[in-house]
Amino acid sequence: MGSFFLYLIMTNSKPIGLFDSGIGGSSIWSAIHELMPNEDTIYLADSKNAPYGKKSKEEIVALSEKNTEFLLNQNAKIIVVACNTATTNAIKELRAKYDVPFIGIEPAIKPAALHSKTQKIGILATKGTINSELFNKAVEIYHDTTIIEQIGYNLVELIEAGEINSPEMKQLLHSYLQPMIDENIDYLVLGCSHYPYLMPQIREILPPHIKIIDSGEAVARQTQNILREKVGFNAADHKSTNIFYINANPNVLADILEHRYPIEQRDF
Ligand code: DGL
């Protein structure tokens, strides 16, 4: 009887809301959708304002609030900040202002530092993430590990433009990763939700013994935990609806999603 009662309380048919500065956070959406396929989702790609990584903290907080309010107006039961730059610069402010649970995404320094045998790891992230207080506090915890930080200048812009396979992309990646290889890293942390879309290109450059970590699965598991503990899941037999909004040209996002989901272009 008790567990039946608990089940009733914890059922919640509202959607999971996610936002990113653009299309990259769809890598996080994929991990969440794979783990919880019957949850409804609303994904917001703020591509018009990408990249966030070059903006000031104040600008990133204002954009994150705008996105949060859009998702709350769509009845989101939880908000996944599917952007490292927005998380590391704005999640504290979002949690203080809105009465909804937030899940953030941060570069996965911890598993890389704990498993590294060379005690050297590389991190590729945006300028906004690498300069943030939250990121630097996380780095300080692992002072026994040498952490080679590299700003991924121009990578988000090229991905947003659909230039994932361009010679310029390959040349940039090479210039960012070769110094890390030379330093003998054995883990590379992808600290931006756009970067998992570069996995084949990065894999081609890195020697096979260097492992690549991104945060998608960890964020999906954390979202599942909070739904279980505090928010509630949709019914187990529910067939999910997945809505994507973008405020710029939808073509690259459509390609990434393999044209399997409708995308609405809307100004927000
Ligand atoms: N996907 C965002 C992140 O995870 C990209 C940030 C940007 O727009 O610069 O950091």
For a substitution probing ligand 1, which of 156, 197, 198 has the most ligand atoms within 8 Å of its CB?
A: 156
Give the distance (Å) from ligand 1 centre to CA of residue 83: 5
Per-residue confidence band for 51, with pLDDT thresholds at 50, 70 and 90: very high
68 — pLDDT class (breaks 50, 70, 90)? very high
Query: What does the pLDDT read at residue 10?
Result: 81
Average pLDDT over residues 8-18: 88
Hey, how many other C-beta atoms are within 10 angstroms of the C-beta on 199? 13
* Strand 263-265 to 211-213 pairing: unpaired
Query: Which tokens belong to 156?
Result: 């988000």
Is the CB of 129 inside a 6 Å radius of any atom of ligand 1? yes
pTM: 0.94
pLDDT at 5 over 70: no
Q: Average pLDDT of 7-19?
A: 86
Q: pLDDT band for position 84 (50/70/90)?
A: very high
> What is the atom index within ligand 1 of the atom nearest the CA of 20?
1
Please indicate whether residue 51, judged by its CB atom, sits closer than 6 Å to ligand 1: yes
Residue 126 near ligand 1, beta carbon < 6 Å:
yes
Contact 193 CB / ligand 1 (< 6 Å):
yes
Terminus-to-terminus CA distance in the chain, angstroms?
46
User: If you search the block for the tokens 């989901």, which residue do you land on?
Assistant: 261
pLDDT band at 30, cuts 50/70/90? very high
Q: What are the structure tokens assigned to 86, written together?
A: 């927005």
Q: How far is the CA of 21 from the centre of ligand 1 (A)?
A: 6
Task: In whole angstroms, give the CA distance from residue 228 to residue 233.
Answer: 7
53 pocket-lining for ligand 1 (C-beta < 6 Å): yes
> DSSP of 3-56, one letter per residue?
HHHHHHHHB--SPEEEEESSSTTHHHHHHHHHH-TTS-EEEEE-GGG--GGGS-
pLDDT value at residue 1: 44
Per-residue confidence band for 99, with pLDDT thresholds at 50, 70 and 90: very high
Residue 146: pLDDT band with limits 50, 70, 90: very high
Q: In Å, how far are 30, 178, 224 from 78, measured between CA atoms?
A: 16, 39, 11
240, amino acid identity? S
What pLDDT is stored for residue 206 in this prediction? Answer: 98
In this predicted structure, what is the pLDDT of residue 28? 97
* Cβ atoms of 221 and 244 closer than 8 Å: no
H or E stretch at 66: helix 57-73
pLDDT, mean of residues 148-166: 97
Question: Distance between CA 67 and CA 55 in Å, rounded?
Answer: 16
- By most ligand atoms within 8 Å of CB, the mutation choice from 18, 19, 21 for ligand 1 is 21
Question: How confident is the model over 164-219, as pLDDT tens digits?
Answer: 999 999 999 999 999 999 999 999 999 999 999 999 999 999 999 999 999 999 99
How many A from CA of 84 to the centre of ligand 1?
6
**Statement: residue 3 has pLDDT above 80:** no
Active site residues: 83, 192
> What local confidence, expressed as pLDDT, does residue 208 receive?
98
- Residue 52 CB less than 6 A away from ligand 1: yes
Give CA–CA dist 255/172, Å, rounded: 23
